[in-house]
């Protein structure tokens, strides 16, 4: 049976990458974390002391910033050229700057081109903000994952505790709200539900329940294709 493309979009901490990874594994598909690519460019910009407001300076970094993913027993690792940046791109300095960098035209054009190349053959689960609207507009299954901001902040808070990171809940919630605001109001490919996407409100839902709801959509699509 031919492999389809699955686009998962939604705001910060809605559970996109967690469910996308499980889904890809279960289906034997590739998983592409597009947020990690925006984070990687932001990390490279911070490392070279770029003025983050200068589109020109960041555009110059793009051709030399090769981003690759490596599957390991511990999960997916992210590299910039030969440097393992898996942990560094999740640090607060990157998290708080990424939406500014991701709003820039040169960055989006370049990364969307790279993301489409990954998805050419189908058999992919991609998560981000503009997958169903801009990167894979022909994806067979499009999911828009949401959850209340309080629940999303609680999920991140718990995740941080599990990783031994102390955070203030209200600060975390505000950071999520700020990033959502920047992502939904930017000019190019803002975060918006694609017309043909299925919205799943995951407030109060466990991970397995969300994965199962998406699999129902995949089965529906596969049955129609048969
Ligand atoms: O996992 P989390 O929700 O923290 O965010 P992410 O998926 O790692 O994405 C980080 C940031 O990259 C987002 O807040 C967006 O500004 C940007 N992004 C984007 O603009 N387009 C995408 N397809 C994916 C991420
Ligand atoms: O990729 P995105 O920013 O949308 O979210 P994530 O990093 O996949 O999920 C954020 C946190 O919420 C993780 O610790 C997940 O384990 C957790 N989560 C959850 O508790 N319940 C769900 N239904 C989905 C995710």
Q: In what order do the strands lie in the sheet with 141-146?
A: 30-33, 124-128, 5-9, 141-146, 198-201
Range of the domain at 35: 5-205
Residue in this structure with the two tokens 């995951």, named with its chain if needed: 202
Separation of alpha carbons 172 and 95, rounded Å:
11
In a domain, 217, yes or no: no
| Residue 1 scores a pLDDT above 70 | no
Residue 215 lies in a domain: no
Residue 17 assigned as binding residue = yes
Secondary structure (DSSP) of 118-154 = HHTTS-EEEEESSIIIII-TT-SEEEEEE--HHHHHH
Element (H, E) at 40: helix 34-47
106 domain-assigned: yes
Tell me how far apart the alpha carbons of residues 135 and 186 are, in angstroms, rounded to a whole number.
16
CATH number of the CATH domain containing 94: 3.40.50.300
**Residue to mutate, 8, 9, 15, 78, ligand 2, most ligand atoms under 8 Å from C-beta:** 15
Q: Would 12 be classed as within a structural domain?
A: yes
ipTM of the complex: 0.98
Residue 107 domain-assigned? yes
Structural domain count, the chain: 1
- Residues lining ligand 1, CB < 6 A? 12-13, 17, 34-35, 38-39, 98-99, 102, 128-131, 179, 183
Asked if residue 219 belongs to a domain, the reply is no
- Our CA angle for 174, 59, 181, nearest 5°, is 20
| Residue 211 falls inside a structural domain | no
User: Is residue 218 a part of any domain in this protein?
Assistant: no
CB 145 within 8 A of CB 14: yes
Mean local confidence (pLDDT), 106-133: 96
For the segment 152-190, what is each residue's pLDDT rounded down to a tens digit?
999 999 999 998 888 899 999 999 999 999 999 999 999
- What is the Cα–Cα distance from 98 to 111, expressed in whole angstroms? 14
Known binder of ligand: residue 15?
yes
pLDDT in tens, 186-219: 999 999 999 999 999 999 999 999 999 999 999 9
């Amino acid at each position: 049976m031919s492999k389809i493309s699955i686009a998962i979009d939604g705001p910060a901490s809605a559970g996109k990458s967690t469910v996308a990874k499980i889904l890809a594994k279960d289906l034997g598909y590739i998983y592409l974390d597009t947020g990690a690519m925006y984070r990687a460019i932001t990390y490279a910009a911070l490392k070279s002391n770029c003025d983050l407001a200068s589109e020109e300076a960041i555009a110059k970094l793009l051709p030399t910033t090769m981003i690759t993913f490596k599957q390991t027993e511990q999960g997916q690792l992210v590299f910039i050229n030969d440097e393992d940046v898996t942990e560094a791109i999740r640090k607060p300095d990157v998290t708080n700057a990424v939406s500014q960098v991701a709003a820039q035209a040169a960055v989006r054009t370049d990364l969307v081109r790279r993301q489409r190349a990954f998805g050419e053959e189908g058999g992919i689960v991609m998560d981000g903000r503009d997958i169903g609207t801009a990167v894979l507009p022909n994806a067979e299954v499009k999911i828009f994952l949401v959850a209340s901001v309080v629940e999303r902040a609680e999920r991140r808070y718990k995740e941080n505790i599990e990783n031994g990171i102390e955070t203030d809940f209200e600060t975390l919630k505000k950071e999520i709200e700020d990033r959502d605001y920047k992502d939904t109001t930017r000019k190019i490919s803002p975060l918006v539900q694609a017309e043909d996407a299925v919205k799943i409100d995951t407030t109060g839902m466990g991970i397995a329940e969300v994965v199962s709801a998406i699999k129902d959509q995949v089965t529906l699509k596969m049955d129609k294709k048969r």
